Structure 1
Amino acid sequence: MRIIIPLLGGVALLAVAPTADAQVSPELKAQCGSCHALEKPANPTVDRLWSRKGPDLWYAGDKFNKPWLVNWLQKPTPIRPGGVLWFNHAKPGEPRDTLDTASVPKHPSFDTATATKMADALMTLKSGLVAPDLFKPEGANPQMGKLAFTKLRGCVACHQSAPGEGGLSGPQLYDAGARLQPSYVFAYTQDPQKFDRYIWMPRLTLSDQDLTRITAYVTSLGKEGAQ
């Protein structure tokens, strides 16, 4: 298994009119604000990326499907096998992709009522970077997307499409069909640096056809009959 930290990408490809920032509730700040950015950083830095405790949530309403959020907050399971920064949990003296998973901090769990309230609040957080109908599923070919993901575009170097199959430097994607909104997958894959200028996921300058295929494949994962 290999882990690759690619070079940074560059210029945005998708222009979506920005929306006003949602007001972050005091309750959400109290529960999540110590580990996650709930508002878009005014001046993001490399140091912020290396020091954050959890992934940014200021675009959670663009990213997640609410039913998944409600369930996950009650029974959290690892999304990033090595935590936010995998190398912090690499076992000394062993290959860099050998992780001490026991050292990865556990996410707290919540009761149903609290999880539902938190999910409602998170779904109000929008970036203005994702048009809801950006992904057009008509004619999308998930099998061609699988070929692009696993062989042609190198996504599998950083992401797992099935447990134990793929890299560890990015979040696993084998439940992406339940977790992620298709238009978010399309927009983020198209230009990750639009969301964070220093994030290490590369902008690959993919065609719309490639983006559609990859999005169709990724958002099929975890669904019944997915290959």
Structure 2
Amino acid sequence: MMKLHIFAALSFGLIAAPVVALAGNGADILKSQCISCHATVKPEKPGLDHIWERKGPDLYYAGSKFNKPWLVKWLQDPVRIRPAGELYRKHVKPGDKEDVVDESTLTPHMKLAKADAEAVADALMALTGPAGLVNKGAFKGGKVSMTMGSMFFNKLRGCGACHMAKAGTGGLSGPELYTGGERLQADYIYSYIKDPQKFDPGVWMPTLNLAEPDLQRLTGYILQLSAPEGK
């Protein structure tokens, strides 16, 4: 029987999969189906080895990262977030001019029935991680100019080398961000940009040492990418 990795495609690729009703509570589903690919408790020895070996992103702080409505929706109809899976170097092959994503290496993902998606989302939202990981109230909610935000994102800070702010445009090694505002909590975005090593010791995303106005600007821009003005 094929083993079901419910959350692998939070970072992996997807192919068509049937809707599956697991008829269990969210915590049980997490325990039985997700821990082979994701850390639902903080790793004892976080670092580059953990990042290299994991099959999907850590979920022990999912409740401080994701928006619940997005989780419920995504679990019923998952789409790829990381164009080249996790870890990027494991899922690319040489192309004519540059590396291309090797689709054959990306793990398929199943869809959950609505009741199970809601139960799992509840369980994930209860996983808030250690105190102080996310700076609550850090983002002040100000609107930003999409033109200036795009310039800052793509040219001044080079975020577009790893991330896509628009489908089909940008880097493949990091998660796409054009659904970031729908998917991610504002304070998580701010906190991760400010200090990615706090979440993933050894991760290749640099600590940019941004000034507070720039942290606010970049967070606001990513949030607005999902809004009508960002389309």
The answer as to whether partners of 2:189 and 2:219 remain within 8 angstroms in 1 is: yes
Distance 1:159 1:45 in 2: 22
Task: Report 1:1-227 matches (<5 A).
Answer: 25-92=27-94, 94-127=96-129, 128=131, 129-138=133-142, 140-226=144-230
1:137 alignment partner, SS class: coil
Write the deviation string for residues 107-138 of structure 1: whole angstroms up to 9, x where unpaired: 22110000000000100111221133110113
Identity %: 50
Bigger Cα displacement from structure 2, 140-149 vs 171-180 = 140-149
Distance 2:143 2:86 in 1: 35
Q: Structure 1 unaligned segments of length 5 or more: list them.
A: 1-23
The answer as to whether partners of 1:81 and 1:101 remain within 8 angstroms in 2 is: no
The root-mean-square deviation of aligned C-alpha atoms, in Å, is 1.7
Kindly provide the amino acid, as one letter, of the partner of residue 72 in structure 1: W
Q: Between Structure 1 and Structure 2, how many residues are aligned?
A: 204
Q: 1:81 to 1:217 in 2, by over 3 A?
A: same
Q: 1:166 to 1:206 in 2, by over 3 A?
A: same
More strand as a share of residues: 2
1:15 is matched with none
The answer as to whether partners of 2:47 and 2:200 remain within 8 angstroms in 1 is: no
Bigger Cα displacement from structure 2, 142-151 vs 201-210 = 142-151
Q: Runs in 1 of length 4+ with deviation above 6 angstroms?
A: none
Q: Under a length normalisation based on structure 2, what TM-score does the superposition of the two structures give? A: 0.83
More helix as a share of residues: 2
Distance 2:146 2:31 in 1: 38
Q: Under a length normalisation based on structure 1, what TM-score does the superposition of the two structures give? A: 0.84
Q: 1:92 to 1:144 in 2, by over 3 A?
A: closer
Write the deviation string for residues 83-130 of structure 1: whole angstroms up to 9, x where unpaired: 011222212454453112243112221100000000001001112211
